[in-house]
Amino acid sequence: MATYAIGDIQGCAKTLLALLETLEFNPDVDQLWLAGDLVNRGPDSLKVLRYVYSIKESVRIVLGNHDLHLLAVACGVGTMRADDSIHDILNASDRHDLLKWLRQQPLFFKDGKYAMVHAGILPAWDFTKAKALSSEIEALLQSDRYVDLLANMRGSKPSYWSEELTGGERYRVILNAFTRMRVCDKKTGHMHFSYKGPYETIPEFSAAWFDLPAERSEDVTLICGHWSALGVHLKSNLASLDSGCIWGGPLTAYCLDTREITQTPNQDR
């Protein structure tokens, strides 16, 4: 039995299946952790979603910003973008089952010495806090209030966390931290969303969220994705796995048992 974590797939079904074949992945005995953004911009989001749904008992998933965008568009409160490639899901005969299942997934997951999120965790949050905040959003997504949540998630303000935040502002900060964050202000800790470039050229006033002093336990390795320009970035307590498959890069898997990296070249471009 092995457990593999995979970075952003974004509808690159051929590459995903090729990577799983290379890993000799067997859903009857192995586990798959997917770090969000299963869908969108790639050529076959429906095939990815159907495949993952078919092996859902062997999969752990956290939602990414593109997954949330799909849910928002599907319920009529999101605006389709020119580069979206989710039409196949929206027109699928099984869309109800697929989207209902997707809506049940968390923003944060932890098991033993590993945890997973799509973009990151604010330095002020420890893993207990991250789990509690993820559970808040999870409860809303699974309730009849999910449309309101998705309708009000857009925007980059507030850019900071405060226990005094309530309602839509509170939920927006939680969603943005878990699914959109890359860098934060070194002094204030506020999230900056405009920077999407490589690690080496982060503006002087900012730092990668994972480089700031944090409340997270050093004994737990956090798996994430989202930041394609960062590429695969490994530290003793971090495995960032978005290797830019959607932009022609490889798709990356990380074995939780051995910490070994496996990559498959893009098959979808």
Q: Residue 38 sits in a domain of what CATH number?
A: 3.60.21.10
Residues 6+ apart with CB under 8 A from 178: 62, 63, 107, 108, 117, 118, 119, 120, 121, 133, 134, 137
User: What pLDDT tens digit does each residue of the chain (269 aa) get?
Assistant: 999 999 999 999 999 999 999 999 999 999 999 999 999 999 999 999 999 999 999 999 999 999 999 999 999 999 999 999 999 999 999 999 999 999 999 999 999 999 999 999 999 999 999 999 999 999 999 999 999 999 999 999 999 999 999 999 999 999 999 999 999 999 999 999 999 999 999 999 999 999 999 989 889 999 999 999 999 999 999 999 999 999 999 999 999 999 999 999 999 98
In three-state secondary structure terms, 221 is strand
Query: 3-state DSSP call for residue 35?
Result: coil
Residue 205 to residues 74, 161, 191, 200, 215, Cα–Cα distance (Å): 38, 19, 12, 13, 21
Res 136: pLDDT:
97
Within a domain: 223: yes
Q: Domain for residue 210, yes or no?
A: yes
Is residue 269 situated within a structural domain? no
Domain assignment of residue 203, yes or no: yes
Whether residue 163 lies inside any domain: the answer is: yes
Residues with Cβ within 8 Å of residue 51, at least 6 apart in sequence: 13, 16, 17
Residue with tokens 């330095």: 123
What is the C-alpha to C-alpha distance for residues 68 and 221, in angstroms, rounded to an integer?
A: 25
* Domain extent for 202: 3-264
Peptide bond into 106 cis (omega under 30): no
**Do the domain assignments include residue 205?**
yes
Query: What pLDDT does 137 receive?
Result: 98
- Residue pair 264/19 in contact by the 8 Å Cβ criterion: yes
Q: How many domains does the chain have?
A: 1
